[in-house]
């Protein structure tokens, strides 16, 4: 029996993880399930899976969570400190699936207990960078990538010497606005941005996919997970989302991982690694798909990957500033406060006015994140309803 905790259990990745666990209930003991405000769903999941503890990150929701769990014998807790405490309970594997830098402190707590971390929460690694990877090494934890591209790369690197890697190529679907003109992008609405053609995901990552910040964050994520050098990391647009990423070796061989665009595939790989488990998905039917196409990204319409590469090159605190500015800009876009093309412009504005020194510890990263958010909010509030 393996013990598992899921941080962000009520989200899209959380639901996919629990779907796989539901299919093999005897092999797993669920320790902690966490959420933010969706305590009704959290309590339902905690009861179904017999969790040891359910935690809402929002202390104001604890009363409702307690009521929803009354009589179940399941512990209920609320607030950031309770989230960190639950994440630090000993388990074999933690799925880190909170969205945004809000997942950083609990993910670090999970790392500190030394188990395996299935990392979906890319913003945490982007923000913390070396602070997180050095904690992984120090505590003997194992970081396995859930993000489909990084999971693909991880699989393609298995059994090979990283010194022999010539390049790593992250594939990008290009998002729902892949073929839109710059003029059309200016008028893109939140409803259009969250409707992804291939993947069913949470709202924030869907907007990131539309702006290509998702790929930018993934570039920085790959830089930390696979330290082969930024110059070896490439991005290619692949509208069908069948090839999830590729590794090219010095002898001219390129290894790719293919699969349906369903996060249960990389999650299953992480849950079972180094074994394989069954998933309920239909086999990949390449004859039905017919064609796989590839094209270079367009950084004029989608500047996010350029900004992310520059942030990765600068290193230190800069990726944390980029991430925080993006989180604020995405929230402002979803709230109808700024236009779609202002997201990248806004991130660039924040990067040009805030360049703090490199963080040395978790508290430093959290301070940079908080300050960058304040500056990002101030900039938005000082130029309300600016079109583009
Ligand atoms: P969702 O928005 O669907 O779910 C987010 C989860 O985090 C929910 O459980 C939510 O709780 C919780 N949460 C939200 N805000 C906070 C907070 N401030 N503190 C604590 N918990 C919080 O996101 P996704 O599942 O789509 O994404 C999760 C992570 O995985 C992201 O980092 C994303 O980039 C990454 N990822 C997602 C993929 C996907 O296909 N969805 C693919 C690859 C990576 P509540 O429901 O109560 O709000
Ligand atoms: Mg991805």
Q: Are residues 134 and 156 in the same domain?
A: no
| Residues with CB in 5 Å of ion ligand 2 | 147-149
269 vs 388 pLDDT, higher one: 269
Share of the chain above pLDDT 70, in %: 99
Q: Are residues 124 and 164 in the same domain?
A: no
Q: How many domains does the chain have?
A: 3
How many angstroms does the Cα of residue 338 sit away from the middle of ligand 1?
22
Q: Which of 109, 131, 146 delimits the end of a domain?
A: 146
The overall average pLDDT reported for the chain is 96
In what helix (H) or strand (E) does residue 7 lie, and over which residues does it extend? strand 2-7
Q: Which of 272, 301, 330 delimits the end of a domain?
A: 301
Question: CB under 8 Å to 388, separation ≥6 — which residues?
Answer: 186, 339, 341, 342, 345
Inside any domain, residue 284: no
179 Cα distance to chain centroid: 25
Q: Are residues 15 and 127 in the same domain?
A: yes
Q: Are residues 206 and 131 in the same domain?
A: no
Q: Are residues 7 and 87 in the same domain?
A: yes
Inside any domain, residue 310: no
CATH of the domain at 60: 3.40.50.720
Inside any domain, residue 286: no
Range of the domain at 79: 2-146
Q: Are residues 139 and 190 in the same domain?
A: no
- What's the pLDDT at 384? 55
Decide whether any atom of ligand 1 lies within 6 Å of the 13 Cβ: yes
Decide whether any atom of ligand 1 lies within 6 Å of the 86 Cβ: no
Inside any domain, residue 255: yes
Q: Are residues 190 and 226 in the same domain?
A: yes
pTM of the predicted protein model: 0.97
Q: Is 160 annotated as a binding residue?
A: no
Q: Are residues 320 and 203 in the same domain?
A: no
Q: Are residues 8 and 104 in the same domain?
A: yes
- Name which residue sits closest to atom 27 of ligand 1, judged by CA: 99
pLDDT at 387 over 80: no
CA separation for the pair 276, 268 (Å, rounded): 7
Q: Are residues 358 and 385 in the same domain?
A: yes
How many angstroms does the Cα of residue 206 sit away from the middle of ligand 1?
11
Structure-block tokens of residue 196: 């992804």
Inside any domain, residue 356: yes
Q: Which of 97, 122, 146 delimits the end of a domain?
A: 146
How many angstroms does the Cα of residue 384 sit away from the middle of ligand 2?
32
CATH of the domain at 334: 1.10.1740.10
CA separation for the pair 259, 252 (Å, rounded): 23
Ligand 1 probe mutation, 104, 205, 207, 308, most atoms within 8 A of CB: 205
150 alpha carbon, closest ligand: 2
Inside any domain, residue 311: no
Inside any domain, residue 162: yes
Q: Are residues 167 and 136 in the same domain?
A: no
How many angstroms does the Cα of residue 124 sit away from the middle of ligand 2?
14
pLDDT at 200 over 90: no
- What's the pLDDT at 383? 80
How many angstroms does the Cα of residue 202 sit away from the middle of ligand 1?
6
- With beta carbons less than 8 A apart as the criterion, state whether 349 and 379 touch: yes
Q: Are residues 53 and 160 in the same domain?
A: no
- Name which residue sits closest to atom 36 of ligand 1, judged by CA: 120
3-state helix, strand, coil in the chain (%, to 5): 50, 15, 35
Residue 9 CA: nearest ligand 1 atom is 9
With bands split at pLDDT 50, 70 and 90, how would you rate the model's confidence at 281? Answer: very high
Inside any domain, residue 280: no
ipTM attached to this prediction: 0.99
Q: What is the pLDDT of residues 305-322, one digit of tens each?
A: 999 999 999 999 999 999
């Amino acid at each position: 029996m393996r013990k598992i905790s899921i941080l962000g259990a009520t989200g899209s990745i959380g639901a996919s993880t629990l779907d796989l666990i539901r299919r093999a209930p005897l092999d797993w003991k669920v320790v902690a399930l966490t959420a933010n405000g969706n305590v009704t769903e959290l309590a339902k999941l905690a009861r179904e899976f017999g969790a040891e503890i359910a935690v809402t990150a929002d202390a104001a929701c604890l009363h409702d969570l307690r009521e929803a769990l009354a009589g179940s014998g399941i512990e209920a807790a609320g607030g950031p400190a309770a989230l960190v405490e639950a994440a630090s309970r000993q388990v074999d594997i933690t799925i880190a699936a909170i969205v945004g830098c809000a997942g950083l402190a609990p993910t670090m707590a999970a790392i500190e207990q030394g188990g395996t971390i299935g990392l979906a929460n890319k913003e945490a690694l982007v923000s913390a960078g070396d602070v997180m990877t050095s904690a992984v090494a120090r505590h003997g934890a194992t970081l396995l990538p859930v993000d489909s591209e990084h999971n693909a790369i991880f699989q393609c690197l298995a059994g090979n010497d990283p010194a022999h890697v010539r390049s790593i190529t992250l594939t990008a679907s290009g998002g729902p606005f892949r073929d839109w003109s710059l003029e059309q992008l200016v008028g893109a609405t939140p409803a259009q941005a969250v409707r992804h053609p291939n993947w069913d995901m949470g709202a924030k990552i869907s907007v990131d996919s539309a702006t290509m910040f998702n790929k930018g964050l993934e570039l920085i994520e790959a830089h930390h997970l696979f330290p082969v050098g930024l110059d070896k990391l490439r991005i290619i647009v692949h509208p069908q989302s069948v090839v999830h990423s590729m590794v090219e070796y010095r002898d001219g061989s390129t290894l790719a991982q293919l699969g349906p665009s369903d996060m249960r595939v990389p999650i299953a790989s992480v849950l079972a690694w180094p074994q394989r488990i069954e998933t309920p998905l239909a086999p990949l039917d390449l004859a039905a798909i017919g064609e796989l196409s590839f094209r270079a990204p367009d950084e004029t319409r989608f500047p996010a990957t350029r900004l992310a590469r520059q942030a990765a090159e600068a290193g230190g605190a800069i990726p944390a500033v980029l991430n925080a500015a993006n989180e604020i800009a995405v929230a402002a876009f979803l709230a109808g406060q700024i236009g779609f093309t202002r997201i990248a412009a806004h991130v660039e504005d924040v990067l040009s006015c805030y360049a703090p020194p490199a963080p040395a510890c978790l508290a430093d990263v959290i301070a940079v994140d908080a300050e960058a958010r304040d500056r990002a909010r101030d900039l938005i509030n000082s130029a309300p309803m600016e079109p583009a």
